[in-house]
Amino acid sequence: MLTLPDQTGRRILVTGATNGIGLEAAVELARAGASVSIVGRDPKRTEAAAAAIAERAGGAAIESFLCDFASQASVRALAADYRARHDRLHVLVNNAGGVFDTRTVTVDGIEATFAVNHLGYFLLTQLLLDVIQASAPARIVIVASRGHYRGTMDFHDLGYERGYGIMSAYQRSKLGNVLYARALARRLEGGGVVVNSCHPGGVATNIWTSAPGWAAPILTVAKWFMLTPGQGAERITWLAAAAETATTTGGYFHDNRPKEPSALAQDAVLGERLWEESARLVGLQVGPEVAPTTP
Ligand SMILES: NC(=O)c1ccc[n+]([C@@H]2O[C@H](COP(=O)([O-])OP(=O)(O)OC[C@H]3O[C@@H](n4cnc5c(N)ncnc54)[C@H](OP(=O)(O)O)[C@@H]3O)[C@@H](O)[C@H]2O)c1
């Protein structure tokens, strides 16, 4: 098991912490002494998760926030809520994510996989960036996936109006994660904020419950060979809190080792194009660091 250095005094925000990898990461970070805030979309599940994390972390105080990353207004409300309560954020773990069996469009008119898994990370991070920078040394962890190796980016049809597939949409969103992590790391280089992305492993969680019914037997068998959520969480907590990753930035990691991401993920021009398009889609200005506008 990974032993983390004492995190007392560090404020850490973990999204998607009501379940799976995010919940386990929150437990480990709280056990290490961090002041952990979690984000969930459902009030009851979020309250239950906060209580479970607190109990497993020896009675730590766990703060919770609500946000549905499928709604930009909700992400803006989360950022505003966080800023109203805190002026420091030492670690942001962007972890909330999902898949959609059939093509789904959010209230903002954006394909839901891309909206939740990529734009959700982008908007929240950009809206909290000045708070994170003021907290340096600080870290941003972006939970991507090895699925990004198969991801493509088509700016003429980002939302798969033609040829939607659950996997291709997921892979695109995860390519977006790695591109964004690298683009943000380039911008923040030398400023005391490190940004890294990772593949947490094939982890037995609920993420594929919305996969098509025919995939259920395959997934049941596959789960026998997968990592536990606790093991997956160690890939996150290592980047969030381990001493050896304190100054590492712009990396992509698998099994807590650096790994070369896909050729597309390494394409800085593509990364900048995605940044511009993401900023446009969430209504932020495109700037070197993109200051918060109207949270
Ligand atoms: N499991 C794997 O093998 C694997 C592999 C590679 C990458 N990952 C990545 O790991 C991350 C965590 O996934 P997981 O496997 O732990 O899945 P999970 O058990 O399904 O957990 C996903 C978390 O994200 C939350 N979430 C989903 N959609 C949301 C939305 N619209 N707004 C707010 N919260 C939302 C879920 O909330 P609810 O509890 O409300 O559903 C849950 O807390 C994801 O980014 C995923 O892409 C997982």
Average pLDDT over residues 59-73: 98
The answer to whether 234 and 22 have CB atoms below 8 angstroms apart is no
Is 151 inside a domain boundary?
yes
Q: Is the dihedral of CA 201, 205, 211, 214 positive or negative?
A: positive
Q: Is 87 in the pocket of ligand 1 (CB under 6 A)?
A: no
Tell me what pLDDT residue 216 has.
78
Residue nearest to ligand 1 atom 39, measured at CA:
18
Residue 179 has pLDDT above 70, yes or no: yes
Is 27 inside a domain boundary?
yes
> Omega of the bond prior to 217 within 30 degrees of 0, cis?
no
For 278, the domain range is: 11-282
Residues identified as active-site: 170
CATH of the domain at 70: 3.40.50.720
How far away, in angstroms, is 238 Cα from ligand 1 center?
18
Is 141 inside a domain boundary?
yes
Q: Is 151 in the pocket of ligand 1 (CB under 6 A)?
A: no
- Place 294 in a pLDDT band, splitting at 50, 70 and 90: very low
Q: How many domains does the chain have?
A: 1
Average pLDDT over residues 225-247: 97
Residue 240 has pLDDT above 90, yes or no: yes
Is 287 inside a domain boundary?
no
**Confidence (pTM):** 0.96
Is 255 inside a domain boundary?
yes
Q: What is the pLDDT of residues 86-119, one digit of tens each?
A: 999 999 999 999 999 999 999 999 999 999 999 9
Average pLDDT over residues 149-165: 98
Is 95 inside a domain boundary?
yes
Mutation pick for ligand 1 pocket among 205, 206, 219, 234 (CB with most ligand atoms within 8 Å):
205
Is 45 inside a domain boundary?
yes
How far away, in angstroms, is 286 Cα from ligand 1 center?
28
Is 295 inside a domain boundary?
no
Tell me what pLDDT residue 175 has.
98
- Place 219 in a pLDDT band, splitting at 50, 70 and 90: confident
Residue 166 has pLDDT above 60, yes or no: yes
How far away, in angstroms, is 259 Cα from ligand 1 center?
22
